Amino acid sequence: MPKKSSISFDATSLTYNMVYMNADGEFIDSELPAAVRSGNEFFITHDFIPLPEGSSLIYLPGRLPVAYVDEEFLSVESPDEDIYPLCALLPAGYTRLFLPAYENSVDAPILPLFGYAAVAIKDGEFFVAAKRTDDPVKWNPLNYPQDKLEEGVSYLKEEMPENRLVEHLAHCALEYHCLTASNIFLNRWEGGIPTSPTCNAGCLGCISLQESECCPSPQERIAFRPTPEEIAEIAIYHLEKGDEPIISFGQGCEGEPLLASSTIKKAIEKIRMTTKKGIINMNTNAFSKDRLLSLREAGLDSIRISMISNIEETYNLYHNPCGYSLNDVRTAGRAAKSAGLFISLNLLTIPGLNDTPTELRAWEELLAEGWVDLVQIRNLNIDPDWLFAKIPLKEKGLGILHFIDAISKYTKVGNFSHYELKK
C-alpha cells in the first residue's frame, strides 16, 4: 500500500468525495473525502476539474478504494458487497495530475495499458484530477464521424487496391479507432504511416508489443515492411488532399521507424518530387544522428523524440535501449535541430516519477540547451505499481502542476503536434 502523506490544509473543508463502483455497476458517493496518489504516496487535493467530455470511467479489479478517514488514508470495504475503486481515462488535451488511490489485493491482476487518473464526486457530478494543457478539438473521438470514415476507407481501397498500408490503416481506424489512421481516410490533419515491424528498445509501456509478464498490448504491430512506393502513394494522397496535412512515421502500431530509414528516405524523395505540401514528421527514439540527418536531406521536416527521463538510469530502466544510449539520443536531437528540424519531445509522464526534484533538474538542464521547440506531455499508460516495481522511486514528487510550470519556462508545452507551429 502506498505511504501516507501529511496534509497541508484542513480536510474538513474538502467538498470532493471518494466515489466507487459496486457489484451492480453503480457509482456510489462514499461521503468520505477523496484521496489521490502521486508515486507511492497518498494525498488530498483541491486540484480537480469537471470530468471532460470524451472521458471514460472504469473500475479497477482486485483493488479496494482508499479514502481519507479520521486523519488517515484507509482502504474502504463494504460488509454487504464487493466494491471497486473508480478512475478516469482522459481524452487528448488533458494532463493527469494524480493517480487513483487504491489498495491492491494479494492477487490483484496487472492493469491494462491505460492512463489512470484520480476521480471524485461533488454534488452528484464527477471530477478528475487533471489540467487542460492543449486544444482537444482535433483529437476528440466525437469529431470522427463513423459514416464518413467508412466512406473514406471504401474510397481508398478502390483507389489503391494493391497498397497493403491501406488495409492495415483501415483496420487501425475501424477496429482500434486510431485517430491518426482515421485522418488518412478523412483527408485532414496528422496521418500516421507505419513502416517498421522491428524496434531497438523494449519500453515497459509499449502499446504494440509486450512481454508475457506484463499485460496484453492494446493493438497489433504491423507485420510487413511496406515499400517506398506504398509509403509514397498514400503519403502523396494525404498531403495533396488533406486539410493542414501532416504525415507521421513512427506510430503505436509499429517499432522504431529509423530502423527503416533507407526505405523511408526513398519514400520521402518520391513524395517531395511530387508535392511540397504539408509536413513530414517522424516519431522516434532518435538513436541515430546520421540517419536523422540523412532523412532531413531528403525532406523530413520534424521529429518527436520519446523520453521518460533525462537521467540515464531511469531512461534505461524504462526504455531498455539496445545498441544506443541516452547520450546518443541527445546528440541526435541537437544535430537535428542544427539541421533545421522542428524538435518535439514526447515526454512520458506519470505523477510521482517525472516530477521528483532530481528528475526535474535533469529536464531543466536539457531544455536550457534550447534545441527543444515543444514538449508534448503524454499521460503514460501503465499499471503504476508494476511500473514503480521496475523503476523504484527515491524521492517524493513536487506535483505535476509544479513540473509543467517549471518546464514551461524553457519551451512551449502541450499534448500533441501542431501544424501551425511547424510551418
Grid cell locating 16: 470532493
Determine the average pLDDT of the residues in 154-166.
Answer: 96
Give the count of beta carbons closer than 10 Å to the beta carbon of residue 317: 16
Q: Which of 108-122, 157-171, 243-257 has the lowest mean pLDDT?
A: 243-257
Q: How confident is the model at residue 7 (pLDDT cuts 50, 70, 90)?
A: very low
pLDDT-derived band at 422, boundaries 50, 70, 90: low
DSSP class of residue 379 equals: E
What span, in angstroms and rounded, lies between the C-alpha atoms of 20 and 66? 10
Residue 81's pLDDT band (boundaries 50, 70, 90)? confident
Condensed to tens digits (0 to 9), the pLDDT of residues 251-281 reads 877 899 999 999 999 999 999 999 999 999 9
Domains in the chain: ranges and CATH: 11-132 (no CATH), 137-422 (3.20.20.70)
- pLDDT for 251 equals 82
In the predicted structure, residue 157 carries a pLDDT above the cut 80 = yes
Q: What is the mean pLDDT of residues 16-38?
A: 94
> Is the CB of residue 198 less than 8 Å from the CB of residue 259?
yes
* pLDDT score at 334: 98
Angle between the 146-159 and 179-186 helix axes, to the nearest 10 degrees? 70
Read off the pLDDT of residues 273-287 as tens digits, 9 standing for 90 and up. 999 999 999 999 999
Beta bridge partner(s), residue 104: 63
Q: What is the mean pLDDT of residues 321-349?
A: 97
Mean pLDDT of 127-147: 88
- Is pLDDT above 80 for 4? no
Cell representation of residue 228 = 517506398
Q: Which of 321, 316, 328, 308 lies closest to 375, judged by CA?
A: 308
More confident residue, 208 or 403: 403
Q: Are 176 and 197 in contact (CB under 8 A)?
A: no
Question: What are 198's three cell numbers?
Answer: 522491428
Q: Would you state the cell numbers that stand for residue 50, as one nine-digit string?
A: 469537471
**In this predicted model, what pLDDT tens digit does every residue of 179-229 receive, in sequence order?**
999 999 999 999 999 999 999 999 998 865 545 445 554 556 788 899 999
pLDDT in tens, 89-119: 999 899 999 999 999 998 999 999 999 999 9
Q: Which of 346, 363, 356 is nearest to 310 (CA)?
A: 363
pLDDT score of 145: 87
13 has a pLDDT exceeding 60: no
Containing 104, the helix (H) or strand (E) segment is: strand 102-104
Q: How far is Cα 302 from Cα 188, in angstroms, rounded to an integer?
A: 18
DSSP state at residue 229: H
Per the document, the length of the chain is 423
Supply the pLDDT for residue 224.
Answer: 82
Q: What is the mean pLDDT of residues 120-133?
A: 96
SS3 string of 307-369? Answer: ECCCCHHHHHHHHCECCCCHHHHHHHHHHHHHCCCEEEEEEEECCCCCCCHHHHHHHHHHHCC
Per-position DSSP letters for 160-203, written without gaps between them = -TT-HHHHHHHHHHHHS--HHHHHHHHTEEEEE----S--SB--
pLDDT value at position 142? 75
**Helix, strand or coil for residue 250?**
coil
Query: How high is the mean pLDDT of the chain?
Result: 91
- pTM of the full structure: 0.92
What average pLDDT does this structure show over 156-178? Answer: 93
In degrees and rounded to multiples of 5, residue 56 shows phi and psi of -125, 140
Q: CB atoms < 10 A from the CB of 112, how many?
A: 15
Q: 304-316, pLDDT tens digit by residue?
A: 999 999 999 999 9
Distance (Å, rounded) from C-alpha 172 to C-alpha 176?
Answer: 5
> What pLDDT, on a 0 to 100 scale, did the predictor assign at position 93?
93
Q: How many C-beta neighbours within 10 Å does residue 243 have?
A: 10
| Per-residue model confidence as pLDDT tens digits over 315-327 | 999 999 999 999 9
State the Cα torsion 77-81-87-91 to the nearest 10°: -170
In the predicted structure, residue 12 carries a pLDDT above the cut 70: no
Q: Is 410 exposed, middle or buried (0-12, 13-18, 19+ CB in 10 A)?
A: middle
- d(Cα 315, Cα 249) in Å, to the nearest integer? 22
CA 229 to chain centre: 30
The reported pLDDT for the residue numbered 10 is 45
End-to-end CA distance of the chain: 48
C-alpha cell at 408: 514551461
Evaluated on CA atoms 63, 380, 317, 323, the torsion sign reads positive
Output the pLDDT for position 54: 87
Residue 223, pLDDT score: 87
